[in-house]
Amino acid sequence: MKQSFSNFEIIAVDDGSTDDTGQLLEQFHKKDQRIKVIRQDNSGLGAARNKGFEFASGKYTLFIDSDDFIEDGLLENVVHTAENTDADIVLFGARTYNNITKVYGQFKFLPDKRIFGNSKVVNRKNCPDKIMQIANVPVWNKLYRTEFLRNENLSFQTLHNNEDVMFVLSSFCLAARIAYLDQIFYNYRRGLPNALTSKKTLHPLCFITAIESLYDKLHEKGVFCEVEKSFVNIAVSLCFYQINSMQEKEVQKLIKEELSQKHWKRMKVTEYPDSYYDEIGKRNFIRSFILEP
């Protein structure tokens, strides 16, 4: 609420909370009419974002996770960048915040300045082979033109995790102009016992559904052939990361079985020539993982 840019609305979605969250939100609403409170039965993060977006009336939209916090100058700076570049998407920097030690840290996967080079904006036309590698996947450090999202009919998947993969990566491929603001405005909390990302192993196959949905969306929109190399490499990277972040034997067995199914094999993610891959080691790892007894 301390933003230097005051012309904004906050749409807070109470996703079936069982504590005093609803009461707190009502108190905030009474103090500031810019806060709208929407209630729904517990349906998950993707559904909550979709419900909130239904009520969005601003020219631009941000999706902020309830665990995290933003810097005071965020809105003023990202809106200024969007207006000056006529961008559908504005990417900006983020950092971690450890809720236990109170220490800030660097984020590994942020907007890639090398892809932008000296350009103020990029799109699939001027960097088709890297368009899905321009930034990290989570939606929270990206400003979107509301009209762009509605025209492209983009929404979040109702998955237990990886719900923003299809949304974010397809938006990169569909946007006419993507701008980058080289400043840190988002603080991603770590060290919370009930953080939104802490229960991934309970639903380990969501990333496969997300990648397949992205594949289908790109075909539906008629842009797959333009961004095929970017898709193959992002799919390999996501698979490699997910497999290595879930080490339980039973979970890995489930993943292996799923990657052996026809619905995954149809995409031929690991079957391209070696020269097609940015990191051939990751491709080889996935192949070996699937073939392991």
119 located within any domain: no
Q: Based on the structure, what is the number of domains in the chain?
A: 1
Within a domain: 287: yes
Residue 282 lies in a domain: yes
DSSP string, 33-83: TTEEEEEE-S--HHHHHHHHHHT--SSEEE---TT-EE-TTHHHHHHHHHH
Q: How many Å apart are CA 137 and CA 107, to the nearest integer?
A: 12
Read off the pLDDT band of 247 (50, 70, 90): confident
Residue 3 lies in a domain: no
| Tokens 């938006």, residue located | 171
Average pLDDT of the chain, as a whole number: 92
Window from 19-33, 178-192, 199-213, 237-251 with minimum mean pLDDT = 19-33
Q: What is the rounded distance in angstroms from the CA atom of residue 154 to the CA atom of residue 156? A: 7
In this prediction, residues 65-88 reach a mean pLDDT of: 95
Span 61-66, average pLDDT:
94
Residue 227 falls within a domain, yes or no? yes
For residues 108-118, give the mean pLDDT.
80
What is the pLDDT at residue 193?
65
Half-sphere exposure in the Cβ direction for 142 (13 Å, CA): 24
Residue 130 and residue 229: Cα distance in Å, rounded? 8
Phi first, then psi, for residue 237 (nearest 5°) are -65, -45
218 is a domain residue: yes
For residues 120 and 178, give the distance between their C-alpha atoms in angstroms, rounded to a whole number. Answer: 8
- Could you tell me which residue, 224 or 28, shows the higher pLDDT? 224
What's the mean pLDDT in 96-124? 88
Q: Which tens digit of pLDDT belongs to each residue from 125-147?
A: 999 999 999 999 999 999 999 99
Q: Is residue 264 part of a domain?
A: yes
Q: 153: left (phi > 0), else alpha (psi -120 to 50), else beta? A: left
Q: At what angle do helices 206-220 and 165-174 cross, to 10 degrees?
A: 30
> pTM of the prediction?
0.94
Instruction: Say what the pLDDT of residue 5 is.
Output: 76
Tally of residues, the chain: 293
Helices (H), 162-223: 165-174, 206-220
Question: Does the pLDDT of residue 211 top 80, yes or no?
Answer: yes
The verdict on residue 240 lying in a domain is yes
Range of the domain at 292: 199-293
* Contact (CB, 8 A) for 165 and 210: yes
Strands (E) in the chain, as ranges, are: 10-15, 35-40, 60-62, 69-70, 89-98, 104-106, 121-122, 142-145, 178-190
Confidence of residue 26 (pLDDT cuts 50, 70, 90): confident
pLDDT of residue 1: 58
Q: Which pairing describes strands 121-122 and 178-190: parallel, antiparallel, or unpaired? A: antiparallel
